[in-house]
Amino acid sequence: MKRIVLVTGANSGIGLALCERLLTTDSEIHLCLACRNTQRAMAARSALLHSHPEADISLLKVDVGDMNSVLEAAKEIKKRYSRLDYIYLNAGIMPNPQLNLKVFVKGLFSRKVVRMFATGEGLLTQEDHVNANGLQKVFATNVFGHFILIKELEPLLCCPSMTSQLIWTSSSNAHKSAFSLDDYQHSQGIESYSSSKYASDLLSLALNRQFNRRGLYSSVTCPGLVMTNLTYGILPSFFWTLIMPIMFLIRFFTNSFTLTPYNGAEALVWLYKQNPESLDPRAKYHSCTSGLGNNYVNPKKMDLREDTAEAFYKQLLELEHKLRQKVGVAEEAIK
């Protein structure tokens, strides 16, 4: 029986490299590319079919930052499939990133320089906005849309006598200090990306508590620093090209400069092959690349509290309830 794998944000960067690698790893797979832009999704499908002509690939239109689009997409998935084996919750944004040069230069001469390059801690700020659902855009895209998708697809993910896996593309940029239960959407701060990634780590922990007994397992990964559209948004591409030799040099000091989407997908592919019951719900699985270019996976314990994860999960359920009422009222008004 073919394994059914859905990947959000599959049309570029790490998501696209992941799809390519999954098709190479497993020929008995149905891949569903869940993307917001149909043309970009079709281009990705063509590229994948070019290297894997026999591959079974379908497209699904979904904007994970838009509640109505997620609900529509979930309806479509339920029509198409009776179960789902894997969902890769990979789509993500970091809008209007600004590099804090002062912190960067200071960091270069501090003892924390390696950590700074590995996590980008404190180096980046973002400007976030409110979306049409009244949610902070980064939170809605990186966390909440995926949460709603999982909730909607619960019957397909929790099937008797089989296990399913949720695999998040989180980040080592997820920091406790950027997240607060009082402002979990991060409407007050300037580190919405870091906050959203910490929120996804908390959510993954809570999902394991809620769903493991029903055969659903959740894991988080960090792909390392990868050159994708997301990172090209931080500094102009000519600058990245100029400093590329330095980036390859940095690899000898930190294994987190994976740089290519192929390398960045290492932990995501590794998790595909694991028995989910053997995984540690508190571990973040990091894609690593050595100075000589060898890839491997390094699990690291996350700094998470069970009670915070539970409280956050409750807040998400309340927000879901509120928004479902809003959507319901809007639908009634149209009728």
Ligand X SMILES: CC(C)CCC[C@@H](C)[C@H]1CC[C@H]2C3=C(CC[C@]12C)[C@@]1(C)CCC(=O)[C@@H](C)[C@@H]1CC3
Ligand Y SMILES: NC(=O)C1=CN([C@@H]2O[C@H](COP(=O)(O)OP(=O)(O)OC[C@H]3O[C@@H](n4cnc5c(N)ncnc54)[C@H](OP(=O)(O)O)[C@@H]3O)[C@@H](O)[C@H]2O)C=CC1
What is the pattern of x (binds ligand X, CB under 6 A) and - over residues 152-181?
-------------------xxx--------
219 binds, among ligand Y, ligand X, none (CB under 5 to 8 A by kind): none
Q: Report in angstroms how near the CB of residue 286 gets to ligand Y at its nearest.
A: 10
Compare residues 36 and 284 and give the one whose CB is closer to ligand X: 284
Interhelix angle 192-211/145-152, rounded to 10 degrees, is 20
Asked whether 126 and 193 are in contact (CB, 8 A), the reply is yes
Phi then psi for 8, rounded to 5 degrees? -85, 150
Q: Which segment (26-34, 65-73, 118-126, 199-207) binds ligand X by CB under 6 A? A: 118-126
Instruction: Give residues 3-32 in contact with ligand Y (rule: CB under 6 A).
Output: 8-9, 11-15
120 binds, among ligand Y, ligand X, none (CB under 5 to 8 A by kind): ligand X
Q: What angle do CA 176, 179, 183 make, to 5 degrees?
A: 160
Going by DSSP bridges, is the β-strand pair 283-289/216-222 parallel, antiparallel, or unpaired?
Answer: parallel
In the list 36, 45, 52, 286, the residue contacting ligand Y (rule: CB under 6 A) is: 36
State the distance between the two ends of the chain, measured CA to CA, in whole angstroms: 42
Q: Which segment (3-11, 47-55, 117-125, 279-287) binds ligand X by CB under 6 A? A: 117-125
Instruction: Give residues 214-243 in contact with ligand X (rule: CB under 6 A).
Output: 222, 225, 231, 234-235, 243
31 binds, among ligand Y, ligand X, none (CB under 5 to 8 A by kind): none
Instruction: Write the CA distances from 59 to 31, 134, 151, 216, 249, integer angstroms.
Output: 8, 28, 21, 24, 39
For residue 119, give the nearest of 220, 267, 224 by alpha carbon. 224
The answer to whether 260 contacts ligand X (rule: CB under 6 A) is: no
Q: Is 197 exposed, middle or buried (0-12, 13-18, 19+ CB in 10 A)?
A: buried
Compare residues 84 and 259 and give the one whose CB is closer to ligand Y: 259
